[in-house]
Structure 1
Amino acid sequence: MTSPQAEWQKEVIGYADAINDFVRIGLADGWDKAGVEPTMPPMAHLVPHWLEALHEVNQPGKDQAAHDAFRKAWPPAHAPLADLLDSQGIKSSELLLLDDGSMLLRAGAPYQDGPVLHLQGSTCTDVEGIDFIGRCPQRRYFATCNDEGVTVTDGWLGPKVAGLAWPTGHEDLPEGMEGEDLEDRPRPTRLIPFPDGRRVLLVSAVGIYVLAAGGARRLWPTAESLEEDGLPVRLDMEHGAISPDGKWIAVGGQDGAHQVFDAELNMVASIGPVSEYPHYAAFSSDSQMAIFNACHFYEGATLAVNVKDFPGLDTDFYGNDPRTPTVQEGARAYAAVHRQGEFIIGDANGYLRAFGPTGRKHWFHFVGSTIMAMDISADGNTLVVSTCAGFISTIRLDAGKAAPWQIGTGGHRETQRWLFWASFGRPLLW
């Protein structure tokens, strides 16, 4: 009789082989030649055995060799766990890869209370007194926050550079509009220091602000938008990014177009999306290009703009302007990184998708469940990814050969996976 472990291994690797063959044929010869998409057989009866083995290998005293043997015997997979993920998976709202290879994770969605955790090797420790984290696009300055305000440090927990107050809600109102105090201090969706460490971009559901020593400035909604919509501000799909050279700020939300401001906080561009709702923005690492994603349900599309075209750019929804070409179709993006020659976006269906500046597809890699946050090492060789399933995945890019259980078209290899599940009490390594 086949053991539960052997059955799990056989089915997971067999499914990955079948899916990868299906995709290979579809991409090369057309999807009509690929046949019926493979499905994984029922595996719910194996999950209790996997859970028992997972808890066992995470007992004190287990070394790296034990974890490596466990991953080989029980290869990571998403499909067998799908029925558990809604109740078990803990989302994360920020993930930062430090230069020493360790990670910082803000567990929980932005609207939820959650700890900041430091993941180092096989250990996970709480970072006390910090509610949210962020880092500047040049990787030097870090922002942390609590009820007292926002602190900027030179390096992670390094020397303090700035202490910044939360906005009050009265900033940059239309003339004659009587403001009202924010009910509570904002819960950050993103917290991004500028490259000089003196200011911080605060993205939140109650507004997008630039925090500075002299006080906060409201970027979005603008005064003109507030005249039309009034107070209080309640944003959906709020997002923001700063170019690595600090010259440009891209922001937006579900209502309206993509917006770009210069370093002096003047609006310089309004860019119509190529799907229904503006959802995400990111800059290339050389500050020469920006991408803007918009979504509709679990699908979406991404356009690109050369930053030299920002000044005065004003395009309509679904516009056919050659300065805003569509470079990716199909993905609702929640996170993105850039390395030389390619953007990598994480989508709502659990895929990493890489493409070049003109939209040429490079590769895809499946992790599973909505990609929530991503970061990439300074050398572009290591990618870290968090998902709604509570997966925290470390991937060595361009490793040459993927593991046999992986689904994708690139030669990238996952080297570690944390599981943040509600019933575990503590994160476990897969």
Structure 2
Amino acid sequence: MDKQHPQQQWQQAVTAYAQAINRYVAQGQAHGWDDLEEPQAPATDHLLDAWQAALRAANHPASDELQRQAFRSAWPPAHLPLVPLLERHGQGISCVLLLDDGSLLARIGMPYEKGQVVRIDGNSVTPVIGIEHFGRCPRRRYFALANSEGVRVTDGWGGPQVARLPWPTGLEDLPKGYPFDPFDLPPTPTALIPFADGQRVLLVSAEGIFLMTAQGARRLLPCQAQIIEDLAEGTDPDDINLGLSMEHAAISPDGNLIALGQQDGRHLVLDGQLQPVAAVGPGSEYPHFAMFNQQGDQLLLNACHFYNGGTLGVRVVDLAGLDTDYYSDDPRTPLLQDGARVYAGVARDGEYIVGDAYGYLRAFGEDGKAHWQHFLGSTISAMDISADGRTLVAASHAGFISVIALDSGRPQWQIGDGEHGELRRWLFWKGWDRPLMW
């Protein structure tokens, strides 16, 4: 029987496995994978009770920062040892935002779940009352705050209200004279993105993608032209599907371009007057994600197939009139990243950081050159980055929120080849009475 303390067993197992995986990946990338055998994860199930007891002790109100740091050193963060607990406790976190004061907003639960919005400030987690969904404009100034009554836009977090927008009725841009039904309830936001003027909000939802204004909403997807074409071909209105799957959208920093899509069709780009600019054939089967780079002069477009995908990069100057098919070899739509099904992403100077279905954060340049990868575990569900590009926050379907100091050095227990150190990991687990810090 192993006479080591549980924390020593955990520490050695987690660190040894991370280093073995990192060697395995480095060898595979350098020399190929054919003759390599992936390291097996050590047995740690018998340590979970002791880990959980130590975690709760470190989060006791009487514990100080030194005790919490001591716990983290003795029980270094890891994902694989917790897999036996995730089916019962894990949950997705649909949105995270780093505020300029260093605090953090998060929506616990996926968009289609009731969920809860919280603010994390230092060691405290406080529910945000009266807000069910939120979003921020690409320039970080305006916030969209939603509940059943509509969407408010504020100038800064906690700042003055500058707009109030009603929910779409569901009848927007539908041909007159057909028996389409209005929404029974407001759409459930997958994303809320205010524009740079603070007067408009892009609503992304499974019920449709809409441009919201104080005067009403416009339906962007499914687009009016496609609906009219389907009706002209004799399709019964009851058979026209107005819902979306894998719905996604992004706004350029200046607000002059809207990239949007869903699983059935190509990537689409509209201008500020909602006129078509481009239709881009995806680099995999199903359009899944879009974002602009930090400068706003390149658009990233991801499509997926099962847990994998392909990500294209298109320079904004090449968008006007661009019309390509699936898997096009057009030099204006090069494949920048091959392999990731992207659920979330951020951009900093010259670099994209995306989160994939396998639990990795993957960074690459605007030229497609791979930079680094960093393992968090489970499917990455949400990300944000600080204005200075030095702090990254990533959330996953394991119920983790990880706050990472970029370019600060990599601890021995971290799987990945990026020089980044996690500062803190929060566990928002179902069935627990409160979130706990790791």
Could you state the TM-score of these two structures normalised by the residue count of structure 2?
Answer: 0.96
2:344 to 327, 335, 340: 335
1:423 to 409, 431, 436: 431
- What secondary structure, in the 3-state scheme, does the structure 1 residue paired with 2:373 have? strand
Distance (whole Å) between structure 2 residues aligned to residue 167 and residue 421 of structure 1: 33
Task: Give the equivalent residue in structure 2 for 1:323.
Answer: 332
Identity of aligned residues (%): 55
Distance (whole Å) between structure 2 residues aligned to residue 39 and residue 303 of structure 1: 34
**How far does residue 175 in structure 1 lie from its aligned partner after superposition?**
5.4
**How far does residue 111 in structure 1 lie from its aligned partner after superposition?**
0.5
**How far does residue 343 in structure 1 lie from its aligned partner after superposition?**
0.4
**How far does residue 87 in structure 1 lie from its aligned partner after superposition?**
2.1
In the alignment, residue 325 of structure 1 is paired with which amino acid? P
In the alignment, residue 148 of structure 1 is paired with which amino acid? E
Give the 5 Å matches for 1:127-206. 127-174=128-175, 176-206=177-207
1:411 aligns with 2:419: yes
Larger CA deviation: 228-237 vs 388-397: 228-237
Q: How large is the RMSD of aligned CA atoms in angstroms?
A: 1.1
1:30 to 18, 29, 32: 32
**How far does residue 64 in structure 1 lie from its aligned partner after superposition?**
1.4
1:301 aligns with 2:301: no
> Alpha-carbon deviations, 1:333-368, whole Å to 9, x = none?
000100001100000000000001111000000000
1:50 aligns with 2:51: yes
Task: Give the equivalent residue in structure 2 for 1:243.
Answer: 252
Task: Give the equivalent residue in structure 2 for 1:123.
Answer: 124
1:103 aligns with 2:109: no
Task: Give the equivalent residue in structure 1 for 2:223.
Answer: 222
Distance (whole Å) between structure 2 residues aligned to residue 174 and residue 309 of structure 1: 33
**How far does residue 23 in structure 1 lie from its aligned partner after superposition?**
1.3
- What secondary structure, in the 3-state scheme, does the structure 2 residue paired with 1:314 have? coil
**How far does residue 17 in structure 1 lie from its aligned partner after superposition?**
0.8
Larger CA deviation: 186-195 vs 16-25: 16-25
- What secondary structure, in the 3-state scheme, does the structure 1 residue paired with 2:101 have? coil
Q: 1:90·1:108 contact (CA, 8 Å) conserved in 2? A: yes
Distance (whole Å) between structure 2 residues aligned to residue 6 and residue 333 of structure 1: 36
Could you state the TM-score of these two structures normalised by the residue count of structure 1?
Answer: 0.98
**How far does residue 372 in structure 1 lie from its aligned partner after superposition?**
0.3
In the alignment, residue 281 of structure 1 is paired with which amino acid? A
In the alignment, residue 277 of structure 2 is paired with which amino acid? V
**How far does residue 402 in structure 1 lie from its aligned partner after superposition?**
0.4
Distance (whole Å) between structure 2 residues aligned to residue 247 and residue 66 of structure 1: 50
**How far does residue 212 in structure 1 lie from its aligned partner after superposition?**
0.5
Distance (whole Å) between structure 2 residues aligned to residue 199 and residue 179 of structure 1: 26
- What secondary structure, in the 3-state scheme, does the structure 2 residue paired with 1:364 have? strand
Distance (whole Å) between structure 2 residues aligned to residue 378 and residue 27 of structure 1: 32
- What secondary structure, in the 3-state scheme, does the structure 1 residue paired with 2:20 have? helix
In the alignment, residue 68 of structure 2 is paired with which amino acid? H
- What secondary structure, in the 3-state scheme, does the structure 1 residue paired with 2:265 have? coil
Distance (whole Å) between structure 2 residues aligned to residue 232 and residue 291 of structure 1: 27
**How far does residue 281 in structure 1 lie from its aligned partner after superposition?**
0.3
**How far does residue 303 in structure 1 lie from its aligned partner after superposition?**
0.4
In the alignment, residue 236 of structure 1 is paired with which amino acid? S
1:211 aligns with 2:212: yes
Q: 1:107·1:117 contact (CA, 8 Å) conserved in 2? A: yes
- What secondary structure, in the 3-state scheme, does the structure 1 residue paired with 2:53 have? helix
Distance (whole Å) between structure 1 residues aligned to residue 33 and residue 146 of structure 2: 49
- What secondary structure, in the 3-state scheme, does the structure 2 residue paired with 1:335 have? strand
> Alpha-carbon deviations, 1:366-401, whole Å to 9, x = none?
0000000000000100000000000100000011x2
> Alpha-carbon deviations, 1:177-210, whole Å to 9, x = none?
4431112111100000001101000000000000
> Alpha-carbon deviations, 1:270-316, whole Å to 9, x = none?
11111111100000111100111011111111001011111111111
Distance (whole Å) between structure 1 residues aligned to residue 149 and residue 37 of structure 2: 57
Distance (whole Å) between structure 2 residues aligned to residue 285 and residue 179 of structure 1: 40
**How far does residue 216 in structure 1 lie from its aligned partner after superposition?**
0.3
Task: Give the equivalent residue in structure 2 for 1:380.
Answer: 389
Q: 1:194·1:246 contact (CA, 8 Å) conserved in 2? A: yes
**How far does residue 94 in structure 1 lie from its aligned partner after superposition?**
0.7
Q: 1:174·1:224 contact (CA, 8 Å) conserved in 2? A: no
**How far does residue 79 in structure 1 lie from its aligned partner after superposition?**
0.6
In the alignment, residue 70 of structure 2 is paired with which amino acid? A
Give the 5 Å matches for 1:247-396. 247-396=256-405
Distance (whole Å) between structure 2 residues aligned to residue 74 and residue 419 of structure 1: 14
Distance (whole Å) between structure 2 residues aligned to residue 153 and residue 104 of structure 1: 15
Q: Unaligned regions of 5+ residues in structure 2, if any?
A: none
**How far does residue 234 in structure 1 lie from its aligned partner after superposition?**
1.6
**How far does residue 225 in structure 1 lie from its aligned partner after superposition?**
2.3
- What secondary structure, in the 3-state scheme, does the structure 1 residue paired with 2:277 have? strand
Residues 310 and 174 (structure 1), Cα distance of their counterparts in 2 relative to 1, 3 Å cut: farther
In the alignment, residue 15 of structure 1 is paired with which amino acid? Y
Distance (whole Å) between structure 1 residues aligned to residue 47 and residue 140 of structure 2: 43
